[in-house]
Amino acid sequence: MTNLRTTLFWLVMTAASVVGLVVPAGAQVTIRISPDAATGAAQDQADTEEQLINWVFEPVTARLKLTGAQKFKILIVAQATINSAQPLFEELDDLDHQLALAEFSEVLDEGKLQQLLAREGELTSQINTMMARAKTNLAKILTAAQRQIVIEQYQRPTAHLGALSSVGN
């Protein structure tokens, strides 16, 4: 579970950097930056986007030779998945806290424990379903040759493929 949270935290932080801050409609914001700072910020965003794409397909990202249009679509799928899954991960964190309290109480409430574990299973199932949908959408973005590279990675005895691996890994 900890590895899952670490991965999600990194993904959410990366995605937040990709999309930047959201300013409510009607809000007036004045930002003063030098031309060098603007160039640096644009470069930081481009680096962050590349990191997210690399994270999704590692270790085969370079072999995929993704086009700019493919990268853009991948970022959209990744962001949509992050936005949808974030509340579920937050609830998982809360459940983890509740489980720790229940497990270290003087008397274990079996009913409460089973209720918390059942909800944890439901949330994990929902997250896995979201990941499966994201994978399907990502597969549609790739060419047949690129999909074959991904499939070959999965067929290895120690298959691992970045964010596309199952949530429990």
The highest-confidence range among 17-21, 41-45, 109-113, by mean pLDDT, is 109-113
ω into residue 157 within 30 of 0, thus cis? no
Looking at residue 5, its pLDDT comes to 47
With a cut of 50, say whether residue 24 has pLDDT above it. Answer: no
Whole-structure pTM over 0.75, yes or no? no
With a cut of 70, say whether residue 16 has pLDDT above it. Answer: no
Looking at residue 164, its pLDDT comes to 56
Identify the sign of the CA torsion 123, 125, 126, 130: positive
Looking at residue 6, its pLDDT comes to 45
Question: Which runs of consecutive H residues, i.e. helices, occur in the chain?
Answer: 2-19, 35-57, 61-64, 68-103, 110-141, 144-154
Q: Which residues contact 164 (CB under 8 A, 6 or more apart)?
A: 56, 57, 131, 135, 138, 150
With a cut of 90, say whether residue 50 has pLDDT above it. Answer: no
Domain residues of the chain, as ranges?
2-18+31-164
Token pair belonging to 66? 């993704």
Looking at residue 121, its pLDDT comes to 96
Q: What is d(CA 151, CA 69) in angstroms, rounded to the nearest whole number?
A: 22
Lowest-pLDDT choice from 36-50, 60-74, 113-127, 150-164: 36-50
Q: What is d(CA 40, CA 30) in angstroms, rounded to the nearest whole number?
A: 19
* DSSP string over 84-115: HHHHHHHHHHHHHHHHHHHHTSSS--HHHHHH
Q: What is d(CA 1, CA 9) in angstroms, rounded to the nearest whole number?
A: 12
With a cut of 90, say whether residue 11 has pLDDT above it. Answer: no
Q: What is d(CA 96, CA 93) in angstroms, rounded to the nearest whole number?
A: 5
Cβ–Cβ under 8 Å, residues 78 and 134:
yes
